A and B are shown apart, each in its own frame.
Chain A
Amino acid sequence: MKKAHIFAIAIIAIAAAIILSTTADASVYVGFGEARQRAAEGNTTKVHVVGKLPRDTQNKPVGLQYDPMLDPNYFAFTLVDTNKVAQRVVYNNPKPQDFDKSEQVVITGCMKGDIFMADNILLKCPSKYVKKDLNAADGATAAR
């Protein structure tokens, strides 16, 4: 066998290993139901969960717990996933600024006992995308 062939085989082997490791490390989007099931089976790999915050009649999110004076690194909240399953989530970091305003929350982490330990929070805020609203002041000027 020529050296070039050995070299080619080595490259293919490494490329295959890379693809395998990507598949192995890739996470999944699941609901809390499946996250609990995974934990019950002893599978502690981290998953992504997409959800919304439950809100009261004034559109304020309910169930947020953050008291920086007691512990700045403890933030707990309830998230309702796309299947309407609610779950208590704990995040060992300060509460992200403007968490209350977010339309959609994506968390990564896994279930530990009764709660979901999140190690990352991604917020999708209404204002983050294409600007489509003139503000009220501009509207008023125009009406005159």
Chain B
Amino acid sequence: MNLLIGNLGHVGVIVAFAAALVAAYSYFQAARGRALGDVHAGWLRLARGAFFVHGLAVLLVVGALFNIIHAHRYEYYYAWSHSSNHLPVHYMISCFWEGQEGSFLLWIFWHVVLGLCVMRFNRRWEAPVMAIFSAVQMFLVSMILGVVLGNVKIGSSPFILLRDFMVDLPVFKMNPDFVPKDGTGLNPLLQNYWMVIHPPTLFLGFALTLVPFAFAIAGLWKKELTAWVKPAIPWTLVGGGVLGVGVMMGAYWAYETLNFGGYWNWDPVENAVYIPWLVLVASLHGLLLWQKRRTGLRTSFTLVITTFILILYATFLTRSGVLGNASVHSFTDLGLSGQLLIYLGAFTVLALALLLSRWKSIPVSPKELTMYQPELWVFVGATVLCLGAFQVLATTSIPVYNALLGLVGIKSNMALPADQIAHYTKAQLWMGVAVAFFSGLAQIMWWQRNDKNTLIGSLTPPALLAMLGTALVILLLRYNKLTISAPYVVLLLTALFGVLANFGTIFTLLRRRIQLSGGAVAHLGIGLMLLGILASAGYSNIISRNVSGMVYSREFTEELNRDNVLLWRNEAARMQNYDVTYTGQYFEAPGVPGYINKQLLFPTDDEYKAIARGPIATDGKTYYKTGDTLEISPENTYYRVNYKDRESGEQFVLYPRAQVNEEMGGLLASPAIKQFAGHDIYSHISSVLDPRKEREWSTPTEHTLSVGDTIFLNDYFAVFRAVEPAHEVAGLGLQKGDLALQADMIVSGERRQYHAHPVFVVRNRLIGRVPDEVDDLGVRITLNSIDPEKGEFRFGVSTTQKDYIILKATEKPFINLLWSGTLLMGLGFFMSLRQRNRREQNGALPAEEATEVLQPLQQSIA
């Protein structure tokens, strides 16, 4: 039992809190009553010192918590509930942020890093911006403070001991120093490489929204109502890119790991990040409009502040327990909702009050925008993004309305829409249409002088090509006997227009300076993403549909969804163009590439270890010899499914898995995906015989055989070929003086022959029998007794339920457009940022070039 490390960590948290408080106050004093850039040197020194202390304390806390997980210190609740002895080191990193406290810590850590960057790169703004930074840090650290004042619990400490968390457990009454031998483990769903990089990316995105917010508030405070925009833009750019990529990483993880059949489920937890991202991107457009064209400053202020408040609201939604039944994967409720509400309320009220008090003095553009100014269309595009965010927000907040009404005594029974996809698609589709159209339009207009003639000249080619393309697609769909609804036609048309217009812009900029095209590249990515979503979601095709041909009298005559198919082991079934065969269960073993057939593994008492029944080899390399003990990962059972194209004869193999996952309610299926250039084949198990349960065997029937005899077993015939001495019997540990014999029985299955080797052992006059099973056939053979005089052998044969899986398989066309669009979008953000930095390094550029440089950024607005 190591109490030191926890105490150290806890002291670290308290110091971090106190230092953040001192830093916030001193930075405030340093900047108070002075113009921007003029600071009180003494207060500033103190503030900087306090923030450095804060940063060091946070590092100490991070180190202490990681040590608790890494050294398996199960006396701490955090290690016990999030880790286990079998966890590889890289997943210990995921343990760190599986819990609420660790993920707050991650967020706090990023704020420290960003705070140091602001101190280094934005010196003039340091005092007011860092005052806000430190105040936010104070609130965040208070969430993991774990201090009880009177009856009020402030924060939940990650360093709480198991015995303090579960006080009532009798174990601790008997032995207060009891330490469990193993932890309960990381949710196996999170044992995935995406879960190592997705949360830090997302929280970096969260943290990045604080920077523009702090600049905006500092600008309002110091009455520098315009100067804050310039330093805020690069941070907003990074934030938009990081948060966008982070969201899509989560989507990709869900696609690979969860079994709802796609990458986006409109789960409140997903929405909670999607909403602020949309507003963040809208705010970026606002900022660029002001920076380049001196319009939209009030919009920028409002959106930058809203983005940060929405991030706080997202935190409240996912961590307060208010979602309850509405979400499958929000954090558990730690009883901190009050604290979260105060946090949310304080920042909302203060920020809005400050904004309103300065509203009249925020400069506005004197002239009204005309149709021929791209600014107007950028502005419209940003508005559309906000409206799209508003729809998701209005619906996702339904559980909050219930809670609010409950507070005032009204019982509300409102629930989320029964068909969420239809509900959200209704508005998000049109948002996509508008985004695609305005991004294409504004990109083209941004780079040229606009009047009626030039506009017609430059818009005609992409518009015509888009129409041509749409017509072609519709013809192709018809040819393949598919239909397309009117809204899809509009989305297809506008998305194609967006792609072509942005592509055209990139082409034009090639001749000027390719570096300018960051905005166009990002918008091209968005257009491709929309096309990918349209194709993969709108035309996803369930290929496992209705193939069994079974007729079963039902309550209904109407056509129903029959999306799942039953596959018997080793029996091919037809699914549209494929012959599909399920051929057995497999395990994964660390260090061995691919999967190992369960029939090659003899289980031991330790479920993480197995004995090889035969050589385990992949690609000619033998990893384990017969009789070796090897480590396996028992949580995941993989079901080998062979797909054979009926026309081309080409084959591929997928291994969808079922995972024993007590946290998620028991057995959980994850898909396996075969990626082709034009489509994915996505399939997952819907139901299996539970791999955790012992199978039930029939009462054995006895057969008396001589060598060479043939019998029928469970519809298969078997030849009793020989009796031989048994040498290596897996799991038996033969000793000197033991007599061990094994029968060699050849069983002919549908596809191949199997050797069964039931063993008969005599040790110290005691008889032991080791039956052998042919998993594929559901047959178990025991060598019961031997009559040496007559040369007769008695065998017991039992049978079991034949193995099967129920599979759902879907074809997702052109989903690669979505992923490649995401990459392009990220690249676009990155290019814009680099271009911006280069410009700042070079100092003032010639006037004409300077506007050009600025423009690509603005394009990323629309």
Contacts and interface: CB of A to CB of B under 8 A. Distances in A.
A and B bound? Answer: yes
Interface of A: 2-4, 7, 11, 14-15, 18-19, 21-22, 25-30, 45-48, 50, 68-74, 90, 92-95, 97-98, 101-102, 106, 108-109, 112-115, 117, 119-120, 122-125, 127-132, 134, 138-139, 141-143
Contacts of B556: 112, 117
B666 interface: yes
B665 A123 contact: yes
Given A68-B687, A68-B804, A74-B552, A97 B564 contact: no
B686 A143 contact: no
19 contacts: A18-B427, A26-B398, A26-B415, A26-B417, A27-B415, A27-B417, A47-B415, A48-B418, A69-B566, A93-B561, A93-B686, A95-B687, A97-B658, A97-B666, A98-B665, A120-B418, A128-B663, A138-B180, A143-B171
Contact of B332 (A102, A115, A119, A130): A130
Nearest to B368: A3
B184 interface: yes
Size class of B's contact patch? 35 or more
B417 A143 contact: no
Given A7-B380, A102-B665, A128-B665, 16 more contacts: A25-B419, A27-B418, A69-B804, A70-B550, A74-B552, A97-B669, A97-B688, A106-B325, A113-B555, A122-B325, A125-B666, A127-B665, A130-B332, A138-B181, A139-B170, A139-B171
B687 A94 contact: yes
B413 A30 contact: yes
B552 A71 contact: yes
A93 B387 contact: no
Contacts of B119: none
Contacts of B806: 68, 72, 94
A128 B662 CA distance: 7
Contacts of B368: 2-4
A101 B665 contact: yes
B414 interface: yes
B178 interface: yes
A71 B560 CA distance: 12
Contacts of A95: 687
A64 to B, nearest CB: 13
B384 to A, nearest CB: 9
A112 B81 CA distance: 45
Given A73-B564, A97-B687, A127 B387 contact: no
Contacts of A98: 665-667
A23 to B, nearest CB: 9
Interface of B: 81, 166, 169-171, 174-175, 178, 180-182, 184, 325, 328, 332, 368-369, 380, 383, 387, 390-391, 394-395, 398, 413-419, 422-423, 426-427, 548, 550, 552, 554-556, 560-566, 658, 662-669, 686-688, 690, 804, 806
B418 A109 contact: yes
Nearest to B371: A3
Given A11-B383, A72-B548, A127 B423 contact: no
B391 A18 contact: yes
A117 B556 CA distance: 10
B134 to A, nearest CB: 32
B705 to A, nearest CB: 32
A42 to B, nearest CB: 17
Nearest to B379: A7
Contacts of B554: 74
Nearest to B562: A73
Contacts of B184: 131
Contacts of B686: 72, 93-94
Closest CB pairs A-B (n = 10) = A98-B666, A46-B418, A125-B665, A97-B667, A94-B686, A94-B687, A25-B417, A142-B171, A27-B415, A48-B415
A101 to B, nearest CB: 6
Contact of A21 (B426, B552, B560): B426
Contacts of B391: 18, 21-22
Interface centre among A48, A113, A127, A131 (most CB of B within 10 A): A131
Nearest to A29: B413
Nearest to B334: A130
Contacts of B662: 127
